[in-house]
Structure 1
Amino acid sequence: MADFIIPTNTSPDLHGRRRLDGPIHAERHVSIICVGAGASGLLMAYKLQKHFSNYSLTVFEKNPAVSGTWFENRYPGCACDVPSHNYTWSFEPKLDWTGVYSSSKEIYQYFDSFAEKYRLKQYIKTEHQVTGAYWNDGTGGYDVKVQDVKNGQQFSQHCDILINASGILNNWRWPAIPGLDKYKGTLLHTANWDESTDLTGKHVGLIGNGSSGIQVLPKIQPIVSKVTTFIREPTWVSPVQGLEQHVYSDDEKREFVEKAGVLTDYRRGIERGLNGQFGIFLKNSKPNNDTQDYMLEQMKSKLQDQYLEDRLIPKWSVGCRRLTPGVGYLESLGKENVTVVYGEINSVTENGCLCDNGNEYPVDVLICATGFDTTFKPRFPLIGPGGRNLQDQWKDEAQSYLGMAADGFPNYLIFLGPNSPIGNGPVLSAIEAQADYMLKMIDRYQTRNIKTFAPTKEAISDFITHKDSFMTKSVWADPCRSWYKNRPDGPITALWPGSTLHYIEALHDLRIEDWDVKYSGNRFAFLGNGYSQTELDPTADWGYYIRDKDDDGPATTAGKRRLLSRSGTMTGNVGVSFTGKNVGDLEQSKETRANL
């Protein structure tokens, strides 16, 4: 095949002139830098390698290994709160998960194996931290500043397109409690865990009852002499009905390997169930009311303590904060060696925590399960045209285009940016949708003579207006303290205004009308010298459109959706909700599993 390739290292204007010498849609060289080799960065490397040619890619990763948050988080009990078989790429199952909710080490191994299998590490520079990115008007790209973590040296590398895949839950922070630096015991943060620390026989203080704190407590409770857990607010804790923890037997895992279709049917059943949950997040809906009644019953039966019930069971709706399965957490609160202190910590002393009840609680080890900086501001200065810094632009409220881009910052794309579907349903499916959308944009950039692309301010403004209006109907608008928003009564910046399936369909087609696209010279220079690519390929069929019947795919949005979703092939999906069936029971019929 005699593809026409535009030479590299040429100016945008020269690119435009060169196009006139080649066929339509000639693929110019594109240089791409991706920040982060977590799940999103690895997926982007995989998809670029699979679909593109005439490109260069460098992925800078600050850690010594890939997998992002799953490499960093090693605290006792660390696990994912999404069923393991559905915390994989849609096309890349793992056959041997140990249970419905698997440990961070297993998840790290999945993503590391994914990188090894597809030779993605050839693109990745570990222990290299991006410290800044600066728009270069002359080249129409970014000069990216990078520090080699091992030797401290700094250098700059240029790219046409910058992709931020640094994630959300990785910029950990100490709690803003006065006196933390005065504490003389062992101080730990769940996201910066010291694995050499032995908690056996120690009196441990645990600050926080978010996802990390809920996972830590049942893991350390049996080995410590005492746990004093500091809780300042209530939260809903219970697996969603039908998604309780289950450890897979050898027979079940063997069936996944040996019986064709069993694992795929199982995964699809769980995914349907997860996608059927969205009604939980709509106020006063039947799924929300039913789930709240179920979780209320579960919490009361596990707590068996009126004092704890009064303080830990929220008055706000289920789902306002991220739903947490909390395997063993509520039961641990009632153990003899666990003391619950409810309220605020006024300060940390040399010995422990001084609380708003006037009491000081000395501890040998103080664990801060206090989360991350979730403001969505880039972790490094991102300087666009005119010297504008995205860190400043998003200082008060992060506003993105469909969770993937920012106005005024051309050729810049973001994974899991503001208002992505983080807690709306299966998150890895949403990441795949974002990657596919980015590929469409990069393809246009490569095959047309585009110099810059950025979402318009008007498009983002309209999206934010729609999002804010929708959120008033959701449980997320309730007055809870959640990382989904900067303050209890503030705008919801973390979540998509709809379900994950809704997001996938919203991103299916490139809405080029929402983008400010600028060209190098004449926008029609991509038409080139009058030849098609097909004519230059001696192995192609130059009459491919002649056939004996109309076998075209659907031409409409509705038709494409029905084809993709296999409309008409399923029954029983109306009003899908979990009904107590254990997803670990592989003796269920295929029909039952499919309609979980």
Structure 2
Amino acid sequence: MADVLLPTATPLEKDAAQRLEGPIHAERHVRVVCIGAGASGLLFAYKMQKHFNNFSLTVYEKNPEVAGTWYENKYPGCACDVPSHNYTWSFEPKLDWSAVYPPANEIFDYFDGFANKYQLKKYIKTRHQVIGAYWDHNIGGYDVKIRDLANGVIVSDHCDILINASGILNNWKWPAIPGLNKYKGTLLHTANWDDSVSLEGKHVGLIGNGSSGIQVLPAIREKCKKVTTFIREPTWVSPVQGLEQHKFSDQEKSEFASKPGALTEYRKGIETGLNAQFGIFLKDNAINKDTTEYMMAQMKEKLGNAYLEGKLIPDWAVGCRRLTPGVNYLESLTKPNVEVVYGEISEVTEKGCLCDNGQEYPVDVLICATGFDTSFKPRFPVVNPAGENLQDKWAADPESYLGLAADGYPNYFIFLGPNCPIGNGPVLCAIEAQADWICKVIDHFQVHNIATVAPTRAAVKDFVAYKDWFMRRTVWADPCRSWYKSRPDGPIVALWPGSALHYIEAVKELRLEDLDVRYVGNRFAWLGNGYSQTELDDTADWAYYIRERDDDAPLTTGGRRKVLTKSGTVAKRTAVSWSGKEEARL
């Protein structure tokens, strides 16, 4: 331990030696790079700023502004399909949402306002796109290559910890339809919208009936001379009872702002309802069966057309694909100026779409509401100490540790990685849980002489085996075409094997037994010079453990959960399906 360091010692080795001269748990400097300033990246910056000392952080964002997908998506009708007051951080409510499902610009304003309120933009470099991250064998950590989009110059950075917060639904793609480049009219994609294009009096073609297509049609229909919407498969579309679109009145907004507890009670009520619906995703569950009946009746009522009912109502269970509220979408399909073409588009011609019924449909404007590249493969090389690129490893069936990390890739952590809770219930609370987990790992890294930390291969293998076993019990495994799967007959790679609350509790504490932790030199160098940091703090209570009663926090997992969730303070409840019927929860 007292060996003199050689002049060739690495920064990590020098740091480990210096720790011997400081108190226990001294916080060494940690350099962090985060990729993406969308919701996850902003929350991570907030958590680092709130909880850490002696760190440096740079967040690289390819767009000119923050908020990720909520900056990029500006198509008519763009909105979130989660009720607005619950599409906020748990600790950061917004008082003045205009509606249950507000337009996208309000959601952008929320996240942009969050960044401004907490002065997070000082960490962010916009118009900087990460193009590669490579493990540095000499000093550890990652050498990060970034393209400065303002001038095209490639710049370099280095970090001890690399965070990928680039998200899932922001890498848009054109549909794989032959001849798309032949089209002579105006071609648009919902995620790359051109506001200068007028749809007034035009014959518009709309490809897709996913979330974007369902929002676009009602928003453009009245201004268009005609809309021909191309649908290749059915999907469940219906507002959820009690969460239909609703514009908040001035009185409601005033009560949210001035009446103590009113907004919290409202938010808790919605969140409780969202969390109570997990049973809908389980095969042969009473909630799923009842919800299927309810939504089928709603769709039939709104369509009122036997042909459309036969084509658009699925024969697979509700929940197999992501559910979308679909405000006024079904009603729009029945309007005189809307033509529904069901089937495959064989090719795009100079005039429009040639379908598998042999008919060509000429249109003035063709809108592709065809979504994103939802593979979890990184959009840039991430190369580990063995020289392996994560793009190759995750090209087919990506495997993660709890949606947070990849085995073999030390000091690299991910928001919304494979098998994260992106469609299991409320998502922002799950992102908060991920941020807390990542921060706990960084804290452990910072106060110990750790060189690298990553999940073990055995831990990832066991998690994937459990996940695959569980998914057979869910409707997600039904034969529907969904971005939840890497391919129609492949494993489910986009969802967590459980509810959102299940995920929060699963990642609440670090399972160090699942992690491959490697140290610089002696693993106990963090014990330092024998002093506690408490003794070096003249403002601290040096006898803090002397008290009049046992007020310790619970030492058991179950005890901590009961305190955290205020167990015993709520009357026993039964789950309520979307039709309003009470059902047993299990």
- The TM-score, its normalising length taken from structure 1, stands at 0.95
Tell whether the 8 Å contact from 1:242 to 1:579 is kept in structure 2 after alignment.
no
> After the TM superposition, which residues 121-270 of structure 1 pair with which residues of structure 2 at under 5 Å, given as runs?
121-270=121-270
Structure 1 counterpart of 2:268, which letter?
R
Tell whether the 8 Å contact from 1:273 to 1:577 is kept in structure 2 after alignment.
no
> After the TM superposition, which residues 172-571 of structure 1 pair with which residues of structure 2 at under 5 Å, given as runs?
172-571=172-571
Kindly state the Cα deviation for residue 241 of structure 1 after the two structures are TM-superposed: 2.2
Q: Distance in 2 between matches of 1:372 and 1:89?
A: 25
Tell whether the 8 Å contact from 2:294 to 2:579 is kept in structure 1 after alignment.
no
Residue 594 of structure 1 corresponds to none
Kindly state the Cα deviation for residue 164 of structure 1 after the two structures are TM-superposed: 0.2
Structure 2 counterpart of 1:214, which letter?
I
Q: Distance in 2 between matches of 1:239 and 1:504?
A: 27
Kindly state the Cα deviation for residue 489 of structure 1 after the two structures are TM-superposed: 2.1
Q: Distance in 1 between matches of 2:362 and 2:96?
A: 43
> 3-state SS of the aligned residue for 2:481?
coil
Label 1:399 to 1:541 Cα distance change in 2 as closer, same or farther (>3 A): same
Tell whether the 8 Å contact from 2:291 to 2:578 is kept in structure 1 after alignment.
no
Tell whether the 8 Å contact from 1:283 to 1:473 is kept in structure 2 after alignment.
yes
Q: Distance in 1 between matches of 2:551 and 2:147?
A: 54
Q: Distance in 2 between matches of 1:364 and 1:351?
A: 8
Kindly state the Cα deviation for residue 571 of structure 1 after the two structures are TM-superposed: 1.3
Q: Distance in 2 between matches of 1:238 and 1:557?
A: 39
Structure 2 counterpart of 1:55, which letter?
F
Q: Deviations over 1:145-202 (max 9, x none)?
A: 0011010011110000000000000110000000000000000000000011110100
Structure 1 counterpart of 2:520, which letter?
S
Residue 75 of structure 2 corresponds to 75
Kindly state the Cα deviation for residue 578 of structure 1 after the two structures are TM-superposed: 4.4
Structure 2 counterpart of 1:400, which letter?
S
Structure 2 counterpart of 1:238, which letter?
S
Kindly state the Cα deviation for residue 245 of structure 1 after the two structures are TM-superposed: 1.1
Structure 1 window deviating more from structure 2 (439-448 vs 480-489): it is 480-489
Kindly state the Cα deviation for residue 575 of structure 1 after the two structures are TM-superposed: 2.2
Kindly state the Cα deviation for residue 386 of structure 1 after the two structures are TM-superposed: 1.8
Kindly state the Cα deviation for residue 577 of structure 1 after the two structures are TM-superposed: 3.7
Residue 101 of structure 1 corresponds to 101
Q: Deviations over 1:10-69 (max 9, x none)?
A: 711111111110000000000000000000000000000000010000000000000000
Kindly state the Cα deviation for residue 390 of structure 1 after the two structures are TM-superposed: 0.2
> 3-state SS of the aligned residue for 2:223?
coil
Moved over 6 A (4+): none
Kindly state the Cα deviation for residue 490 of structure 1 after the two structures are TM-superposed: 1.3
Structure 2 counterpart of 1:170, which letter?
N
> 3-state SS of the aligned residue for 1:392?
helix
Q: Deviations over 1:115-174 (max 9, x none)?
A: 000000000000000010000021110000001101001111000000000000011000
Structure 1 counterpart of 2:250, which letter?
D
Structure 2 counterpart of 1:333, which letter?
L
Residue 42 of structure 1 corresponds to 42
Q: Distance in 2 between matches of 1:424 and 1:192?
A: 28
Structure 2 counterpart of 1:125, which letter?
K
Q: Deviations over 1:450-486 (max 9, x none)?
A: 0000101110000000000000000100010111112
Q: Distance in 1 between matches of 2:107 and 2:575?
A: 32
Q: Distance in 1 between matches of 2:203 and 2:579?
A: 41
Residue 585 of structure 1 corresponds to none
CA RMSD, Structure 1 to Structure 2 (Å):
1.0
Residue 586 of structure 1 corresponds to none
Structure 1 window deviating more from structure 2 (377-386 vs 295-304): it is 377-386
Kindly state the Cα deviation for residue 576 of structure 1 after the two structures are TM-superposed: 4.0
Tell whether the 8 Å contact from 2:294 to 2:578 is kept in structure 1 after alignment.
no
Structure 2 counterpart of 1:139, which letter?
I
Q: Distance in 1 between matches of 2:171 and 2:516?
A: 31
> 3-state SS of the aligned residue for 1:340?
strand
Q: Deviations over 1:263-307 (max 9, x none)?
A: 001001111000001000001101101110110000000000010
Structure 1 counterpart of 2:47, which letter?
K
Structure 2 counterpart of 1:24, which letter?
I
Structure 1 window deviating more from structure 2 (452-461 vs 564-573): it is 564-573
Residue 4 of structure 2 corresponds to none
Q: Deviations over 1:90-131 (max 9, x none)?
A: 000000001111111000000000000000000000000001
Q: Distance in 2 between matches of 1:412 and 1:138?
A: 17
Kindly state the Cα deviation for residue 488 of structure 1 after the two structures are TM-superposed: 2.2
Residue 6 of structure 1 corresponds to none
Residue 56 of structure 1 corresponds to 56
Kindly state the Cα deviation for residue 573 of structure 1 after the two structures are TM-superposed: 2.7
Q: Deviations over 1:542-594 (max 9, x none)?
A: 1000011101111100000000000001014332444559xxxxxxxxxxxxx
Residue 86 of structure 2 corresponds to 86
Structure 2 counterpart of 1:507, which letter?
V
Q: Distance in 1 between matches of 2:331 and 2:31?
A: 53
Q: Distance in 2 between matches of 1:232 and 1:176?
A: 13
> 3-state SS of the aligned residue for 2:129?
strand
Q: Distance in 1 between matches of 2:277 and 2:102?
A: 21
Structure 1 counterpart of 2:304, which letter?
Q
Residue 584 of structure 1 corresponds to none
Tell whether the 8 Å contact from 2:234 to 2:313 is kept in structure 1 after alignment.
yes
Structure 2 counterpart of 1:450, which letter?
I
Listed as ranges, the gaps of 5+ residues in structure 1 are 1-8, 582-596
Q: Deviations over 1:325-368 (max 9, x none)?
A: 00000000000000000000000000000000000000000000
> 3-state SS of the aligned residue for 1:494?
coil
> 3-state SS of the aligned residue for 1:130?
strand
Q: Deviations over 1:229-283 (max 9, x none)?
A: 0000000001222211111001000000010100001001111000001000001
Q: Deviations over 1:481-516 (max 9, x none)?
A: 111112222100000000000000001110011010
Q: Distance in 2 between matches of 1:487 and 1:435?
A: 29
Q: Distance in 1 between matches of 2:232 and 2:578?
A: 31
Residue 20 of structure 1 corresponds to 20
> 3-state SS of the aligned residue for 2:308?
helix
> 3-state SS of the aligned residue for 2:222?
coil
Structure 1 counterpart of 2:222, which letter?
P
Tell whether the 8 Å contact from 2:419 to 2:493 is kept in structure 1 after alignment.
yes
Tell whether the 8 Å contact from 1:273 to 1:578 is kept in structure 2 after alignment.
no
Q: Distance in 1 between matches of 2:272 and 2:298?
A: 24
Q: Distance in 1 between matches of 2:149 and 2:109?
A: 23
Tell whether the 8 Å contact from 1:161 to 1:412 is kept in structure 2 after alignment.
yes
Q: Deviations over 1:365-391 (max 9, x none)?
A: 000000111110001111111210000
Q: Distance in 1 between matches of 2:241 and 2:390?
A: 41
Tell whether the 8 Å contact from 2:291 to 2:579 is kept in structure 1 after alignment.
no
Structure 1 counterpart of 2:209, which letter?
N
Q: Distance in 1 between matches of 2:300 and 2:577?
A: 22
- The TM-score, its normalising length taken from structure 2, stands at 0.97
